[in-house]
Amino acid sequence: MKRRDVITVLLGAAALARPALAQESRPGIARIGFIGNGPASEHRLRDAFGAGLRENGLVEGRDCTVVTSFAEGESDRLPSLVQDLVREKVDVIVLAGPSAIRAAQSVTSTVPIVIAVAGDPVADGFVPSLAHPGGNLTGLSMNNTEISGKRLELLKETTPSMTRVAALVDASLVMAGLSEVEAAAHSLGLALQVLRVTMDDLDRAFAAAQRERAQAMLVLPTPRFNFQSRRARLADLALRHGLPSMYEEAAYVRDGGLMSYGPSFEDMYRRAAVYVAKILKGAKPGDLPIEQPAKFELVLNLKTAKALGIAVPQSLLARADETIE
């Protein structure tokens, strides 16, 4: 079951292959650069962006061409990917996540940059304010740090007897939101085990959580985990270790995780196309306020809940935007 809710706004960012034209460009049509975080085989966010273009009167091949590349989860490729797009003389670049924003700002101060998904660009030092970003950067911010604590509250609601929880943190990032999780754990009376990991450390991390008798796993947001093979691996490890798991985005739950709470990434990428359309019509990116979501989605996987022996409270079921059975 799914209940559609309109959100005001809404990550991602990167690419393995050199940019390739989505279709052959013709003189006089706009050139849009698109950098995705995950592999080229997982193009759901690119598809959402394309749908957003069409909704705003931009038909690929007629009004615009999209130069698309994917980082395959490797943030060190981002600067060269941005450089390639600048050499391609694109009119605007769409990307997501702090690593991609940082790479873009290091490469160009003139090509307009539209953020499809970001945490807090003000706290990260990318813009002076959301209302007046200035420079060549604008887009969408989900202010993820503020809801990190809420995710922990919802996770405890599925298992009221829970007293110990593990938090999985990408070791390659300075993790925004961890202080909020620590504060939430304290207020909920939970012992918090922080596990800083790479993808190669996951088996050891889950074993460590089991040794410390963790009763659930909170996976903090990171682009490195958020593509299909890694989402599925996280879900499998959580299930094998009997740990209810909470994530930032619904894709994790569709790949077997227990639950997620956050904005819809697909909707954010569709909304990013609105910014692109405005810029192509002459708007300056620095004059376009950065938007934030008005609605966060709660998604539950009831099949996973059953496998874990969890009876999801009716209070959560009633609030869920989507349940997977």
Alpha carbons 228 and 136: distance in angstroms, whole number = 32
Beta strands in 10-163 (DSSP E): 20-21, 30-36, 64-70, 92-95, 113-115, 137-139
Structural domains in the chain, CATH included, are 20-142+264-287 (3.40.50.2300), 145-262+297-324 (3.40.50.2300)
Alpha carbons 303 and 138: distance in angstroms, whole number = 39
Residue 15 is predicted with a pLDDT of 33
Helix axes 78-87, 98-107, angle to 10 degrees: 50
Per residue in 186-197, pLDDT tens? 999 999 999 999
Helices (H), 36-142: 44-55, 78-87, 98-107
* pLDDT < 50 regions, the chain: 1-26
What type of residue is 6?
V
Alpha carbons 170 and 219: distance in angstroms, whole number = 9
- Count Cα atoms within 13 angstroms, Cβ side, for 18: 5
Q: Integer distance in angstroms from the first to the last C-alpha of the chain?
A: 9
Residue 174 is predicted with a pLDDT of 63
Q: What angle do CA 297, 301, 302 make, to 5 degrees?
A: 125
